[in-house]
Amino acid sequence: MIPFDYHRATSVADAVTAVAERPDAVFLAGGTNLVDHMKLGILEPSLVVDVGHLPLTDIEQLPDGALRVGADVRNSDLAAHPVVRSRYPVLARALLSAASGQLRNLATTAGNLLQRTRCVYFQDVTTPCNKRTPGEGCSAIGGYVRYHAILGASEHCVAVHPSDMAVAMAALDAQVVFVDAEGEHRLPLTEFHRLPGDRPDRDTELPPGALITAVEIPAPPDGARSTYRKVRDRASYAFALTSVAAELIVDDGTVTSARIALGGVAHKPWRARRAEEVLTGAPATEDTFRRAADAELVDAQPLPGNEFKVELTRRTIIATLTELSEQR
Protein backbone atom coordinates (compact mmCIF):
# COMPACT_ATOMS: atom_id res chain seq x y z
CA MET A 1 0.00 0.00 0.00
CA ILE A 2 1.43 3.36 -1.01
CA PRO A 3 0.07 6.15 1.22
CA PHE A 4 -1.65 9.17 -0.34
CA ASP A 5 -3.62 12.14 0.89
CA TYR A 6 -7.35 12.38 0.17
CA HIS A 7 -9.27 15.63 -0.23
CA ARG A 8 -13.01 15.81 -0.93
CA ALA A 9 -13.44 18.93 -3.09
CA THR A 10 -16.18 21.32 -1.97
CA SER A 11 -16.39 23.33 -5.20
CA VAL A 12 -14.93 23.48 -8.71
CA ALA A 13 -12.54 26.25 -7.60
CA ASP A 14 -11.47 24.22 -4.56
CA ALA A 15 -10.73 21.19 -6.78
CA VAL A 16 -8.66 23.19 -9.27
CA THR A 17 -6.70 24.92 -6.49
CA ALA A 18 -6.03 21.64 -4.65
CA VAL A 19 -4.40 19.95 -7.68
CA ALA A 20 -2.50 23.11 -8.67
CA GLU A 21 -0.59 22.90 -5.39
CA ARG A 22 0.54 19.28 -5.98
CA PRO A 23 1.65 18.46 -9.56
CA ASP A 24 1.19 14.69 -9.10
CA ALA A 25 -2.35 15.06 -7.70
CA VAL A 26 -5.24 13.37 -9.53
CA PHE A 27 -9.00 13.82 -9.64
CA LEU A 28 -11.21 10.94 -8.56
CA ALA A 29 -14.78 10.60 -9.90
CA GLY A 30 -16.41 7.13 -9.97
CA GLY A 31 -12.98 5.56 -9.46
CA THR A 32 -13.65 2.62 -11.81
CA ASN A 33 -10.50 3.32 -13.82
CA LEU A 34 -8.35 5.42 -11.51
CA VAL A 35 -8.48 3.06 -8.53
CA ASP A 36 -7.52 0.09 -10.73
CA HIS A 37 -4.51 2.07 -11.96
CA MET A 38 -3.45 2.86 -8.40
CA LYS A 39 -3.75 -0.82 -7.46
CA LEU A 40 -1.77 -1.91 -10.52
CA GLY A 41 1.03 0.58 -9.81
CA ILE A 42 0.43 2.55 -13.03
CA LEU A 43 -0.19 5.67 -10.95
CA GLU A 44 1.19 6.64 -7.55
CA PRO A 45 -0.32 10.04 -6.75
CA SER A 46 0.51 11.74 -3.46
CA LEU A 47 -2.94 13.42 -3.40
CA VAL A 48 -6.34 12.23 -4.61
CA VAL A 49 -8.91 15.01 -5.02
CA ASP A 50 -12.43 13.60 -4.98
CA VAL A 51 -14.62 15.51 -7.45
CA GLY A 52 -17.37 12.89 -7.54
CA HIS A 53 -19.55 14.80 -5.07
CA LEU A 54 -19.51 18.20 -6.76
CA PRO A 55 -22.82 19.61 -8.01
CA LEU A 56 -22.03 18.60 -11.61
CA THR A 57 -24.84 16.06 -11.95
CA ASP A 58 -27.45 17.96 -13.98
CA ILE A 59 -28.61 17.15 -17.49
CA GLU A 60 -30.26 20.27 -18.88
CA GLN A 61 -31.52 21.52 -22.22
CA LEU A 62 -30.05 24.88 -23.20
CA PRO A 63 -32.07 27.61 -24.95
CA ASP A 64 -30.51 26.71 -28.34
CA GLY A 65 -31.69 23.10 -27.95
CA ALA A 66 -28.27 21.70 -26.99
CA LEU A 67 -27.99 19.25 -24.09
CA ARG A 68 -25.57 20.10 -21.26
CA VAL A 69 -24.40 17.03 -19.37
CA GLY A 70 -22.63 17.60 -16.04
CA ALA A 71 -19.20 15.98 -15.63
CA ASP A 72 -20.42 13.83 -12.73
CA VAL A 73 -23.57 12.49 -14.43
CA ARG A 74 -23.37 8.72 -14.11
CA ASN A 75 -23.34 6.72 -17.34
CA SER A 76 -26.57 4.87 -16.33
CA ASP A 77 -28.40 8.14 -15.65
CA LEU A 78 -27.32 9.60 -18.98
CA ALA A 79 -28.40 6.49 -20.91
CA ALA A 80 -31.80 6.49 -19.19
CA HIS A 81 -32.53 10.21 -19.62
CA PRO A 82 -35.68 10.68 -21.74
CA VAL A 83 -34.10 13.34 -23.98
CA VAL A 84 -31.07 11.14 -24.65
CA ARG A 85 -33.29 8.14 -25.41
CA SER A 86 -35.52 10.05 -27.80
CA ARG A 87 -33.16 12.53 -29.51
CA TYR A 88 -29.73 10.88 -29.23
CA PRO A 89 -30.29 7.10 -29.54
CA VAL A 90 -26.68 6.74 -30.71
CA LEU A 91 -25.52 8.00 -27.32
CA ALA A 92 -27.94 5.91 -25.27
CA ARG A 93 -26.91 2.77 -27.17
CA ALA A 94 -23.19 3.51 -26.89
CA LEU A 95 -23.51 3.97 -23.12
CA LEU A 96 -25.55 0.80 -22.67
CA SER A 97 -23.06 -1.24 -24.72
CA ALA A 98 -20.29 -0.41 -22.26
CA ALA A 99 -19.03 -2.26 -19.18
CA SER A 100 -21.73 -3.63 -16.82
CA GLY A 101 -24.76 -2.21 -15.01
CA GLN A 102 -22.80 -1.89 -11.77
CA LEU A 103 -19.91 -0.07 -13.46
CA ARG A 104 -22.25 2.28 -15.35
CA ASN A 105 -23.88 3.20 -12.04
CA LEU A 106 -20.52 4.56 -10.85
CA ALA A 107 -18.80 5.71 -14.05
CA THR A 108 -19.12 9.42 -14.81
CA THR A 109 -19.19 11.44 -18.02
CA ALA A 110 -15.78 13.04 -17.42
CA GLY A 111 -14.19 9.83 -16.13
CA ASN A 112 -15.44 7.97 -19.20
CA LEU A 113 -13.80 10.49 -21.55
CA LEU A 114 -10.54 10.27 -19.60
CA GLN A 115 -10.39 6.52 -19.09
CA ARG A 116 -7.09 5.15 -20.36
CA THR A 117 -6.31 2.46 -22.90
CA ARG A 118 -6.92 -1.20 -22.10
CA CYS A 119 -3.69 -2.22 -23.91
CA VAL A 120 -2.57 -5.23 -21.85
CA TYR A 121 1.04 -4.02 -21.77
CA PHE A 122 0.02 -0.59 -20.48
CA GLN A 123 -1.71 -2.35 -17.60
CA ASP A 124 1.24 -4.63 -16.85
CA VAL A 125 3.99 -2.58 -15.21
CA THR A 126 6.54 -5.35 -15.82
CA THR A 127 6.48 -4.71 -19.59
CA PRO A 128 7.91 -1.66 -21.46
CA CYS A 129 5.29 0.88 -22.53
CA ASN A 130 5.82 4.36 -23.99
CA LYS A 131 2.44 5.51 -22.73
CA ARG A 132 3.35 4.72 -19.12
CA THR A 133 7.02 5.68 -19.35
CA PRO A 134 8.05 7.69 -22.43
CA GLY A 135 11.10 6.25 -24.20
CA GLU A 136 10.71 2.75 -22.75
CA GLY A 137 9.45 1.15 -25.98
CA CYS A 138 6.17 -0.39 -27.11
CA SER A 139 5.58 -4.02 -26.16
CA ALA A 140 2.48 -4.28 -28.32
CA ILE A 141 4.41 -3.91 -31.57
CA GLY A 142 5.25 -7.51 -32.38
CA GLY A 143 2.99 -8.64 -29.52
CA TYR A 144 -0.73 -9.16 -28.85
CA VAL A 145 -2.63 -6.60 -30.90
CA ARG A 146 -6.16 -7.95 -31.34
CA TYR A 147 -7.58 -4.81 -29.71
CA HIS A 148 -5.11 -2.36 -31.23
CA ALA A 149 -5.22 0.39 -33.84
CA ILE A 150 -5.59 0.18 -37.60
CA LEU A 151 -5.81 3.96 -38.14
CA GLY A 152 -3.60 6.87 -37.06
CA ALA A 153 -1.11 4.87 -34.96
CA SER A 154 2.61 5.63 -34.68
CA GLU A 155 5.82 3.68 -34.18
CA HIS A 156 5.62 4.76 -30.53
CA CYS A 157 2.14 3.48 -29.69
CA VAL A 158 -0.58 1.44 -31.39
CA ALA A 159 -3.15 1.53 -28.58
CA VAL A 160 -6.82 2.48 -29.00
CA HIS A 161 -9.12 4.61 -26.86
CA PRO A 162 -11.59 2.26 -25.17
CA SER A 163 -14.62 4.52 -24.65
CA ASP A 164 -17.94 3.83 -26.38
CA MET A 165 -19.62 7.01 -25.11
CA ALA A 166 -16.88 9.23 -26.57
CA VAL A 167 -17.39 7.72 -30.03
CA ALA A 168 -21.07 8.69 -30.03
CA MET A 169 -20.19 12.14 -28.72
CA ALA A 170 -17.59 12.59 -31.49
CA ALA A 171 -20.24 11.84 -34.12
CA LEU A 172 -22.62 14.32 -32.44
CA ASP A 173 -20.11 17.22 -32.47
CA ALA A 174 -20.08 17.51 -28.67
CA GLN A 175 -17.94 20.10 -26.89
CA VAL A 176 -15.98 19.42 -23.70
CA VAL A 177 -16.21 22.24 -21.14
CA PHE A 178 -13.40 22.53 -18.60
CA VAL A 179 -12.06 24.93 -15.99
CA ASP A 180 -8.48 25.75 -15.04
CA ALA A 181 -6.77 28.57 -13.16
CA GLU A 182 -7.43 30.91 -16.13
CA GLY A 183 -11.18 30.27 -16.27
CA GLU A 184 -13.60 28.23 -18.42
CA HIS A 185 -12.65 26.79 -21.83
CA ARG A 186 -14.17 24.43 -24.36
CA LEU A 187 -12.82 22.03 -26.95
CA PRO A 188 -14.65 20.08 -29.67
CA LEU A 189 -14.70 16.43 -28.64
CA THR A 190 -13.10 15.51 -32.00
CA GLU A 191 -10.06 17.59 -30.96
CA PHE A 192 -10.06 16.56 -27.31
CA HIS A 193 -8.36 13.15 -27.67
CA ARG A 194 -4.97 12.92 -29.42
CA LEU A 195 -3.31 10.61 -31.90
CA PRO A 196 -0.17 9.12 -30.29
CA GLY A 197 2.59 10.60 -32.49
CA ASP A 198 5.79 10.70 -30.41
CA ARG A 199 3.89 11.58 -27.19
CA PRO A 200 1.64 8.60 -26.47
CA ASP A 201 1.80 9.46 -22.77
CA ARG A 202 -0.59 12.34 -23.55
CA ASP A 203 -4.08 11.00 -24.27
CA THR A 204 -5.86 14.34 -24.60
CA GLU A 205 -5.39 18.07 -25.06
CA LEU A 206 -6.78 18.75 -21.57
CA PRO A 207 -4.24 21.03 -19.81
CA PRO A 208 -2.66 19.58 -16.63
CA GLY A 209 -4.81 20.29 -13.58
CA ALA A 210 -7.92 21.26 -15.59
CA LEU A 211 -11.29 19.98 -14.36
CA ILE A 212 -13.96 18.93 -16.85
CA THR A 213 -17.28 20.42 -15.75
CA ALA A 214 -19.64 19.42 -18.58
CA VAL A 215 -20.11 18.13 -22.10
CA GLU A 216 -22.46 20.00 -24.43
CA ILE A 217 -24.15 18.20 -27.31
CA PRO A 218 -25.83 20.28 -30.04
CA ALA A 219 -29.44 19.54 -30.94
CA PRO A 220 -29.64 16.86 -33.64
CA PRO A 221 -30.83 18.14 -37.03
CA ASP A 222 -34.51 17.57 -37.96
CA GLY A 223 -35.13 14.17 -39.51
CA ALA A 224 -31.88 12.63 -38.22
CA ARG A 225 -31.76 8.94 -37.31
CA SER A 226 -28.86 7.62 -35.29
CA THR A 227 -27.52 4.42 -33.84
CA TYR A 228 -24.43 2.72 -32.40
CA ARG A 229 -23.17 -0.70 -33.37
CA LYS A 230 -20.40 -2.40 -31.40
CA VAL A 231 -18.61 -5.62 -32.37
CA ARG A 232 -16.84 -7.48 -29.58
CA ASP A 233 -15.63 -10.90 -28.51
CA ARG A 234 -18.52 -11.41 -26.03
CA ALA A 235 -22.09 -10.19 -26.24
CA SER A 236 -21.63 -8.03 -23.15
CA TYR A 237 -18.98 -6.75 -20.76
CA ALA A 238 -16.28 -6.47 -23.43
CA PHE A 239 -14.49 -3.64 -25.17
CA ALA A 240 -15.04 -2.91 -28.87
CA LEU A 241 -13.02 -4.65 -31.55
CA THR A 242 -14.65 -2.05 -33.75
CA SER A 243 -17.68 0.18 -33.39
CA VAL A 244 -19.65 2.66 -35.48
CA ALA A 245 -21.63 5.66 -34.27
CA ALA A 246 -23.71 7.03 -37.13
CA GLU A 247 -26.37 9.64 -37.75
CA LEU A 248 -28.03 9.96 -41.17
CA ILE A 249 -30.68 12.08 -42.79
CA VAL A 250 -32.19 10.42 -45.85
CA ASP A 251 -34.56 12.49 -47.97
CA ASP A 252 -36.39 10.84 -50.85
CA GLY A 253 -33.71 8.14 -51.14
CA THR A 254 -30.77 10.57 -50.98
CA VAL A 255 -28.41 11.05 -48.03
CA THR A 256 -28.56 14.77 -47.21
CA SER A 257 -26.46 14.62 -44.03
CA ALA A 258 -24.10 12.06 -42.46
CA ARG A 259 -22.05 12.08 -39.26
CA ILE A 260 -19.99 9.02 -38.44
CA ALA A 261 -17.34 8.10 -35.88
CA LEU A 262 -15.48 4.84 -35.35
CA GLY A 263 -14.38 3.23 -32.09
CA GLY A 264 -11.84 0.51 -31.26
CA VAL A 265 -9.67 1.40 -34.25
CA ALA A 266 -7.56 4.41 -33.22
CA HIS A 267 -5.97 6.25 -30.29
CA LYS A 268 -9.01 8.55 -30.33
CA PRO A 269 -12.63 8.34 -31.42
CA TRP A 270 -12.14 8.41 -35.21
CA ARG A 271 -14.41 10.87 -37.00
CA ALA A 272 -15.00 9.38 -40.45
CA ARG A 273 -14.94 12.58 -42.53
CA ARG A 274 -14.03 10.82 -45.79
CA ALA A 275 -17.00 8.49 -45.48
CA GLU A 276 -19.27 11.45 -44.68
CA GLU A 277 -18.09 13.21 -47.84
CA VAL A 278 -18.89 10.20 -50.05
CA LEU A 279 -22.33 9.79 -48.45
CA THR A 280 -23.56 13.37 -48.58
CA GLY A 281 -25.69 13.89 -51.69
CA ALA A 282 -25.42 10.24 -52.78
CA PRO A 283 -28.24 7.68 -53.06
CA ALA A 284 -28.79 5.75 -49.84
CA THR A 285 -27.78 2.41 -51.30
CA GLU A 286 -25.45 -0.39 -50.28
CA ASP A 287 -23.11 0.59 -53.10
CA THR A 288 -22.77 4.11 -51.65
CA PHE A 289 -22.25 2.73 -48.14
CA ARG A 290 -19.51 0.42 -49.44
CA ARG A 291 -17.78 3.30 -51.25
CA ALA A 292 -17.98 5.39 -48.07
CA ALA A 293 -16.42 2.62 -45.97
CA ASP A 294 -13.69 2.04 -48.58
CA ALA A 295 -12.85 5.76 -48.66
CA GLU A 296 -12.48 5.85 -44.89
CA LEU A 297 -10.34 2.74 -44.67
CA VAL A 298 -8.08 3.38 -47.65
CA ASP A 299 -5.18 4.37 -45.35
CA ALA A 300 -5.80 1.67 -42.73
CA GLN A 301 -2.53 0.11 -41.55
CA PRO A 302 -3.28 -3.06 -39.61
CA LEU A 303 -0.59 -4.81 -37.60
CA PRO A 304 0.41 -8.46 -37.98
CA GLY A 305 -2.38 -10.03 -35.92
CA ASN A 306 -5.20 -7.53 -36.39
CA GLU A 307 -5.62 -7.47 -40.19
CA PHE A 308 -9.16 -8.80 -39.72
CA LYS A 309 -10.23 -5.47 -38.20
CA VAL A 310 -10.14 -3.67 -41.56
CA GLU A 311 -12.77 -5.91 -43.14
CA LEU A 312 -14.70 -6.10 -39.86
CA THR A 313 -14.86 -2.30 -39.70
CA ARG A 314 -15.84 -2.04 -43.38
CA ARG A 315 -18.73 -4.48 -42.84
CA THR A 316 -19.80 -2.78 -39.62
CA ILE A 317 -19.98 0.61 -41.34
CA ILE A 318 -22.07 -0.83 -44.18
CA ALA A 319 -24.39 -2.72 -41.81
CA THR A 320 -24.93 0.33 -39.60
CA LEU A 321 -25.72 2.64 -42.51
CA THR A 322 -28.02 0.04 -44.07
CA GLU A 323 -29.90 -0.31 -40.77
CA LEU A 324 -30.32 3.46 -40.48
CA SER A 325 -31.40 3.91 -44.08
CA GLU A 326 -34.12 1.28 -43.60
CA GLN A 327 -35.51 2.85 -40.39
CA ARG A 328 -38.95 4.49 -40.72
Ligand X SMILES: Cc1cc2nc3c(=O)[nH]c(=O)nc-3n(C[C@H](O)[C@H](O)[C@H](O)COP(=O)(O)OP(=O)(O)OC[C@H]3O[C@@H](n4cnc5c(N)ncnc54)[C@H](O)[C@@H]3O)c2cc1C
Binding site for ligand X (CB under 6 A): 26-34, 51, 71, 98-99, 103, 106-108, 110-112, 114-115, 162-165, 211-212, 239
Q: Among 18-26, 78-86, 124-132, 255-263, which window interacts with ligand SF4 (CB under 6 A)?
A: 124-132
27 versus 121: smaller Cβ distance to ligand SF4: 121
Residue 130 as a binder of ligand SF4 (CB under 6 A): the answer is: yes
139 versus 213: smaller Cβ distance to ligand SF4: 139
Q: Which residues in the 138-197 window bind ligand SF4 by CB under 6 A?
A: 138-140, 157-159
Q: Mind giving me the DSSP string for 234-289?
A: SSSS---SEEEEEEEEEETTEEEEEEEEEESSSSS-EE-HHHHHHHTTSBSSHHHH
Greatest C-alpha distance within the chain: 64
**Minimum distance from CB of 208 to ligand X (Å)?**
10
Residue 149: which of 306, 273, 324 has the closest Cα? 306
Q: How far apart are CA 218 and CA 224, in angstroms?
A: 13
Residues forming beta bridges with residue 251, ordered by sequence position:
254
140 versus 224: smaller Cβ distance to ligand SF4: 140
104 versus 132: smaller Cβ distance to ligand SF4: 132
Classify 59 in phi/psi space as left (phi over 0), alpha (psi -120 to 50) or beta: beta
158 versus 177: smaller Cβ distance to ligand SF4: 158
* Binding track, positions 66-105, relative to ligand SF4; x by CB under 6 A: ----------------------------------------
Half-sphere exposure for 204 (CA within 13 Å, toward CB): 25
Residue 200 as a binder of ligand SF4 (CB under 6 A): the answer is: yes
**How many of the other CB atoms lie within 10 Å of CB of 62?**
12
Which option in ligand X, ligand SF4, none does residue 147 bind, with CB closer than 5 to 8 A by kind? Answer: none
**Minimum distance from CB of 286 to ligand X (Å)?**
29
192 versus 289: smaller Cβ distance to ligand X: 192
Half-sphere exposure for 185 (CA within 13 Å, toward CB): 14
Q: Among 72-80, 117-125, 162-170, 315-323, which window interacts with ligand SF4 (CB under 6 A)?
A: 117-125
**Minimum distance from CB of 242 to ligand SF4 (Å)?**
17
Q: How far is CA 107 from CA 9, 33, 95, in A?
A: 18, 9, 10
Q: How far apart are CA 112 and CA 77, in angstroms?
A: 13
Contact footprint for ligand SF4 (CB under 6 A): 117, 119, 121-122, 129-131, 138-140, 157-159, 200
